Chain A
């Protein structure tokens, strides 16, 4: 069975640009969460979506936005990129909303902002 998939694998952008990252959850999973992992740190929660609605938001600026599509895939958008946005962006999927359901992570998208 396919796990969580993310695209692209790597991305290089210039400061001030905008970026869109994509995630496809495990088949049958209806919830997608996004995390940012800076080198040497643990992942930090950005958003969770369930049934196409935002259910949670971490402490990130409004430059970060996301959405979930009817097929449960998701996009994370970051506007006006800063050097500090360079990180591994992880998508996690779960069957439902709430911690009764385990979260499974994809391989991530490595974003480098120059």
Chain B
């Protein structure tokens, strides 16, 4: 089955700087890559996703890039703010998010230093 590796496990950045989280996946059939933000005591919140027919997607301060050849995708957060502090998860879906569900990475704890 699919395997998703996520790095780093912890990332500390100064407020206003950029943060980058990287993920690799194993199954070349994966074609959907969402990113979730999880705050303490809450469920994961979908923040952005990308499909295999595009290489980059942006939404205000958040962007995701996908390299299908290398089988890796990344989350970029610019102009970080205190409210960006949370655990971020990448995920990959093989067949359609259904039969196999989403396969998640182990998460990155993002800490924004004031």
Contact = CB atoms under 8 A, between A and B. Distances in A.
B65 to A, nearest CB: 19
Interface in A17-36: 31, 33, 35
A45 B45 contact: no
A42 B106 contact: yes
Given A97-B96, A106-B43, A107-B43, A45 B101 contact: yes
Q: Among B1, B6, B44, B96, which residue has the most Cβ atoms of chain A within 10 A? A: B44
Contact of A48 (B1, B43, B99, B103): B99
Given A43-B89, A99-B32, A107 B42 contact: yes
A102 B49 contact: yes
Interface in A76-111: 90, 94, 97-108
Contacts of A65: none
Interface size class of A (residues with CB under 8 A): 20 to 34
A106 B46 CA distance: 11
B107 A35 contact: no
Contacts of B4: 42
A8 interface: no
Interface of B: 1, 4, 6, 31-32, 34, 36, 41-46, 49, 51, 89, 91, 93, 95-107
Interface of A: 4, 31, 33, 35, 40-46, 48, 50, 55-56, 58-59, 90, 94, 97-108
The 10 A-B pairs at the shortest CB distance, nearest first, are namely A45-B101, A42-B104, A98-B96, A99-B97, A99-B32, A105-B43, A56-B99, A99-B93, A99-B96, A97-B98
Given A45-B101, A108-B42, 19 more contacts: A42-B105, A42-B106, A42-B107, A43-B44, A43-B89, A43-B102, A45-B100, A48-B99, A50-B98, A55-B98, A56-B98, A56-B100, A58-B100, A58-B101, A90-B43, A90-B44, A94-B97, A98-B97, A102-B34
